[in-house]
Amino acid sequence: LGFLAKQLDVPIENVATDGPGLAFVAYPEALLRIPIPQLWSVLFFFMVIILGLGSQFAGIEAVSVTILDKWPHLRKRQYLVQIGICLSCFILAIPMCFSGGIYIFTL
């Protein structure tokens, strides 16, 4: 962000706010201003995707282990528990695809 603030000649506080504006507005704008912006943009968004997938694996594993510890008889069907968790997350994420999704995201 310091690089972008220097390029735009504005204080760093005015470059971007926190939240989605930082990751999807300020950083891509900064990446456009450095040499080989296509390479850095691909690497940045690849990193964002990998971080998101890692977070999803950790979240699903935490819920799955909690359920399987609470009800040990479900361990024989662990894959069904994980499929159920994934389907529940999918259904709960559907509102994010509509125009009000950004308001839910910023909560």
- Our CA angle for 37, 23, 97, nearest 5°, is 115
Q: Is the full-model pTM beyond 0.85?
A: no
pLDDT at position 10: 80
Structure-model confidence comparison of residues 12 and 53, the more confident one: 53
41 is in an annotated binding site: no
51 is in an annotated binding site: yes
Report the phi/psi class of residue 57: left, alpha or beta, with left for phi > 0 and alpha for psi in -120 to 50: alpha
pLDDT of residue 19 exceeding 70: no
> Where do the domains of the chain lie?
1-34, 48-107
Given this model, what pLDDT does residue 20 score? 66
| pLDDT for residue 12 | 75
